[in-house]
Amino acid sequence: MRQVKNGDTVKVHYHGKLNDGTTFDSSEGREPLEFEVGAGMMIPGFDDGVKGMEAGEKKTLVIAAEDAYGPVQDDMFMEFPLDRFPPDMKPEVGMPLNMSDGQGQQFPVVIANVKEESVILDANHPLAGKELIFDIELVEISGGTPLIIMP
């Protein structure tokens, strides 16, 4: 049987959960996830985890935070004045928001703490610092991207 290697395009069904069993993502009820192995489209631990698998094979991947979304970074927390929020908005811990970086680029943040005159915003990826568990089934392997070789 053919085994997955870098450059192959694969389709997988997956169920992603945290150590406490909480599901954070799943392909259930959707088309399988399709990606090119080794192209940087996936977190490193997932990309590496499918290598060597065969079509129809099932496997559980346990991916350390360093091979997923990385550790929580202290420099991704920022303090924001409460008086800059709309007057009818009551900021609460866990509330997701979108910020703009001044050049029109939007990025998601979550309120980590509400103080008397400010809030602490967390711009880390929601899965940063977490070990991830994926139950995966390799549905299909197809050839990698064809290369054009110039003489």
* Domain boundary assignment for the chain: 9-70+127-142, 74-122
* Per-residue pLDDT at 146 exceeds 70: no
Q: Which fold has domain 9-70+127-142?
A: Chitinase A; domain 3 (3.10.50)
The SS3 of residue 54 is: strand
DSSP 123: -
Strands (E), the chain: 9-17, 23-26, 33-36, 58-63, 77-81, 96-100, 106-114, 118-122, 132-142
Summarised one tens digit per residue, pLDDT across range 44-80 is 999 999 999 999 999 999 999 999 999 999 999 999 9
pLDDT of residue 1: 78
Is residue 148 pLDDT above 80, yes or no? no
What letter would DSSP give residue 145? P
| pLDDT range class, residue 42, cuts 50, 70, 90 | very high
Note the residue count of the chain: 151
pTM for this model (two decimals): 0.81
Q: Residue 11 pLDDT > 90, yes or no?
A: yes
Query: For domain 74-122, which CATH number applies: 2.60.40.1180, 3.40.50.11900, 2.40.10.330, 3.30.365.10?
Result: 2.40.10.330
- CA 118 to CA 82: how far, in whole Å? 5
